[in-house]
Structure 1
Amino acid sequence: MNYTFPGLIDVMAKASPPRSGDELAGCAADSDGERAAAQWVLADIPLTAFLNDVLIPYEDDEVTRLIIDSHDATAFEPLSHLTVGEFRDWLLDTAAREDGGAELAALAPGLTPEMVAAVSKLMRNQDLIAVSRAITHTSAFRTTIGLPGRLSTRLQPNHPTDDPRGVAAAVLDGLLLGCGDAVIGVNPASDSPRHVAELLYLLDEIRQRYRIPTQSCVLTHVTTTIELIGEGVPVDLVFQSIAGTEAANRAFGVSLELLAEAHDAGRALRRGTVGNNVMYFETGQGTELSADSHLGVDGKPVDQQTLEARTYAVARAFEPLLVNTVVGFIGPEYLYDAKQITRAGLEDHFCGALLGLPMGVDVCYTNHAVADQDDMDVLVTLLAAAGCAFVITVPGADDVMLGYQSLSFHDALYVRRLLGLRPAPEFERWLRELALADERGRVLPTALDSSPLRELVSTL
């Protein structure tokens, strides 16, 4: 059987591991044989091809212009003679060396998203884990994210009506179980500036009352956050969902210029204590296709994993504190089952790490996907072994506002205990001061009555 691939965009799509989103877009390989053939072709393509043969035209897309214009030729020079297949071998060799992590981390400015997406398509799951594990990138605000031997958590206390008592109860639950060192972040049920401001004041009051070394965020649209900053509302992190094409970002109501404005506004507040990384971005495979903004050269669809990697170029331009892929949230139309969700989570973490981000993952699925909580146990264990910077945790693993399944606070305790991981150092010290954790950072079965947090109950 002979296979023909008219261009780079076709090779990249056909070489991708199976996923329902690429089938929906009409760009997936028709058979395992075609996929293997595309991977053979991809392995022989020089890395320099991705600088000359862009998948989305430079003149039509500001994300492409950002990628090309910000590329660091000096950082890329040591790899400039390699093909994609040789790059895979180099990554594995370097990751296996005792001192290889620093060399891998230094590559980030010289790599384009398309390069890292391409090499990921040639890698087994264990390859993705091994290379990711060797890379360290950190960020900081009131806690330091991404340090080796640490696994941070976002405490997600969502409530269907934004009831302050419900939000506060979920915050208390998470704090008592050692969660919240990445951020206490609420998805508001209402995007009204008044409701968002009320939630920000509530989270800031809790943080200040108990001197919690963490940061808060209400995940509203960036324009609302800019407005609230101007009104003096206590904003720590500036949130926005982003994508890998200009058109998809336009569907979110954002542009690079607007994100730059938000970044400057957040940093000008200087509310951080150990750093001033103020941006929080969420991404997810399938975003561009769901917005009908996934087409590249000659109107051909770009595969969803490559588009996701392009999103990380947008994120790194603004030196974020947090970036996470909501890996199974967009639904089975894009990632059909647990096998596809697991593969996508490992790919996203790998690509984000190679591109210079302290990458997090929302280990999650929707109720109509072919997945269950056992599958999430497997994925969070693999991601923690791969050095994932943070995961999202919700009460009982069931987000009753967004209607999807994620990780519970107990799941974070499990994986930390299993792999000897600890919270961010600033947050860990606070847990020990309140007798909620021992000297190894492990949460203790402390009775509520013995903790100063008991006062929070009176506010419910």
Structure 2
Amino acid sequence: MGNFSHVFRGETFRFPDLKTVLARASARRSGDELAGLAAASDAERVAARAVLADLPLKIFLEDPLIPYETDEVTRLIFDTHDHAAFRPVAHMTVGQFRDWLLSYEADSAALTALAPGLTPEMAAAASKLMRNQDLIAVARKCRVVKAFRNTVGLEGRLSSRLQPNHPTDDLKGIAASTLDGLLYGTGDAVIGINPATDSVQNCLSLLSMLDDLRTRYDIPTQTCVLTHVTNSIEVMNAGGAVDLVFQSIAGSQAANEGFGVNLSILREAYEASQSLKRGAIGQDTMYFETGQGAALSAGAHFGVDQQTIEARAYAVARAFSPLLVNTVVGFIGPEYLYDGKQIIRAGLEDHFCGKLLGISMGCDVCYTNHAEADQDDMDTLMTLLTAAGVNFVIAVPGADDVMLNYQSLSYHDVLYLRATFGARPAPEFEDWLEKMEMMDRHGRMRLPGPQNKAQNRLLLGEGQNAA
């Protein structure tokens, strides 16, 4: 299908196919310009959005952006589409769908029921017709709740990943950063380490240390070493303490192959993690990371704009009911998201699409040192995402990851977000913080002191039940 056109200010703009309409309708970003997909002018962008607004939603079930026969992600999207769930919006155009999402009728229950009926392309298309405030307003209504040892995604809650990375994987250094984060009330989404050395033996050592820490203090959270999924399978086979299985994923089969994975490998890891039954209150065992630009950097985007193909990664995630998914929004660099404005917009788009598709969506609010962005931009994005009901954010010591060499959020930032929005940690984790005398009944973190005996046991390295 093709030959879409629109007249704007006396000029006729023609678009040869659906993926060109989507690409030209996207907000400006350096990745699409690098790929030669971006609108050449604001006028062309407006024309493409006018065309997109009038297209029927069901066109995305008739005209795959990447051929069904050659791409297993496309096959997953089409084969798992819930036609019954789609029926309430099946008659709508993209523009009408956008308007309906902003209506009172599109409440949390309606959006939850609709999610299996939406394809990533539908979510991405709607997002291209939205201002930032629209992305926030709709995402806030989407509620996705998952559980393992605690509950992530409840209304009025903001979870966090404690990321204690170390440039040499020094166990004492990681433990110190972990302790620091726990004292600020972070780590309820996961305590997750990016290993500097990605080997099975190193992962076993890191996981053993984290599991000993968790069990010694009876911390109701989950741990993860963000190794390649095939390493996780070997670690599980060796009896390692795997709570969550991690993998970076993308929106095309070829891009996932660039990560060394496919749906079959992910299914094998998922089933292995399910068999361990390590969860206390739930068995959502998968953790996925994504990011706009991943498919383009692998030469595996097939002419699809970077935001739409990013949304397709969420279909891969959705197939495995993950506890956590986050876009590492500014990590890949300015070639794909040039400055703070583009990073902010991309973070809001990704969160909107993920939540609309029914996954437990978080964000690593971050940037690289060579991007035209700074911590003020990150303050803006983390505040907007919390207003939008993000399930979790990521925090590192001092907002500076000394192993991955990029800028993220700090433990202090999580305190700011919770205090400003009245958000609390996951309920089970909050109960533990109160039990350890680290948080008062008003949700405020306490400073260590001689009167806080339970907290001092943590500082001294004594177990939860030590005298």
Normalising TM by the smaller chain, what interval?
over 0.9
Match of 2:51 among 41, 49, 53: 41
State whether structure 2 residue 237 is matched by structure 1 residue 235. Answer: no
Bigger drift between 450-459 and 162-171 goes to: 450-459
Does the CA contact (< 8 Å) of 1:181 and 1:214 recur in 2?
Answer: yes
- 2:176 aligns to what? 169
SS of match in other structure, 1:211: coil
Q: Deviations over 1:413-439 (max 9, x none)?
A: 001000100000000000000111111
The within-5 A match list for 1:317-356 is 317-356=319-358
Q: Which residue of 1 aligns with 2:166?
A: 159
Summarize deviations over 1:210-265 as a string: whole Å, max 9, x none: 10000000000001010010111111000000000000000101000100000000
- For structure 1, the 5+ residue unaligned runs are 296-300
d(CA) in 2 for partners of 1:321 and 1:142? Answer: 10
Unmatched runs of 5 consecutive residues or more in structure 2? 1-10, 463-467
Structure 1 residue 459 displacement after superposition: 6.1
- Normalised by the size of structure 1, how large is the TM-score? 0.97
Q: For each residue in 1:96-132, what CA deviation from the matched residue of structure 2 results, as whole angstroms up to 9, or x when unmatched? A: 35x8111011111000000000000000000000000
Change beyond 3 A, Cα 1:50–1:448: farther
| C-alpha separation in 1, matches of 2:153 and 2:239 | 30
Q: SS state of the match for residue 173, structure 2?
A: helix
- How far apart in 2 are the matches of 1:73 and 1:442? 46
Q: Give the number of aligned pairs.
A: 452
Letter in 2 for 1:204: D
1:391 aligns with 2:393: yes
**Equivalences for 1:155-304 in 2 at 5 Å?**
155-295=162-302, 301-304=303-306
* Partner of residue 124, structure 2: 117
CA 1:41–1:17 in 2, change beyond 3 Å: closer, same or farther?
Answer: same
The 3 A distance-change label for structure 1 pair 103 and 111 is same
Counterpart AA for 1:343: R
**Residue aligning to 1:434:** 436
Correspondences of 1:143-158 after superposition (within 5 Å): 143-158=150-165
| 1:444 positional shift | 2.0
SS at match of 2:81: coil
SS in 1 for 2:394: strand
Residues 61, 246 of structure 1: 8 Å contact kept:
yes
1:458 positional shift: 5.3
Partner of 1:309: 311
Q: Deviations over 1:136-157 (max 9, x none)?
A: 0111000101000000000000
Q: Which amino acid letter does the alignment assign opposite residue 200 of structure 1?
A: L
What CA deviation, in whole Å up to 9, does each residue of 1:316-347 have, x standing for no partner?
00000000000000100000000000000000
**In the alignment, which residue of structure 1 is the partner of 2:65?**
55
Tell me the equivalent position of 2:82. Answer: 72
Q: Give yes or no for the alignment of 1:407 onto 2:417.
A: no
Aligned CA distance change for structure 1 residues 380 and 68 (closer, same or farther; 3 Å): same
Change (3 A) 1:193 1:6: same
SS in 1 for 2:14: coil
- Structure 1 residue 32 corresponds to structure 2 residue 42: yes
The match for 2:7 is none
Equivalent position SS for 1:314:
helix
**TM-score, length basis structure 2:** 0.95
Q: Aligned equivalents of 2:204 and 2:453: distance in 1?
A: 29
| Structure 1 residue identity aligned to 2:194 | N
Shift of residue 457 of structure 1? 4.9
Task: Give the Cα separation in 2 of the matches to 1:355 and 1:457.
Answer: 42
Cα distance in 1 for residues equivalent to 2:448 and 2:27: 46
Residues 448 and 456 of structure 2 are in contact (CA less than 8 Å); yes or no, is this contact kept in structure 1? no
Percent sequence identity over matched residues?
Answer: 65
**Distance apart, 1:449 and its partner CA:** 7.5
Whole-Å separation in 1 of the counterparts to 2:461 and 2:438:
21
Partners in 1 of 2:176 and 2:227 — Cα distance?
A: 21
Could you list the per-position Cα deviations for residues 44-85 of structure 1 after superposition, in whole angstroms to 9, with x for gaps in the alignment? 000010000010000000000000000000000111100000
Q: Supply the distance in 2 between the matched residues of 1:6 and 1:226 (Cα, whole angstroms).
A: 44
Distance (whole Å) between structure 1 residues aligned to residue 52 and residue 352 of structure 2: 19
Matches of 1:325 and 1:82, distance apart in 2: 29
In the other structure, the counterpart of 2:465 is none
- Alpha-carbon distance in 2 for matches of 1:148, 1:246: 35
- C-alpha contact (below 8 Å) 1:422/1:442 kept by paired residues: no
Q: CA deviation at 1:135?
A: 1.0
Which residue identity does 1:400 align to in structure 2? V
Match of 2:423 in 1: 421
Q: Determine whether 1:7 maps to 2:7.
A: no
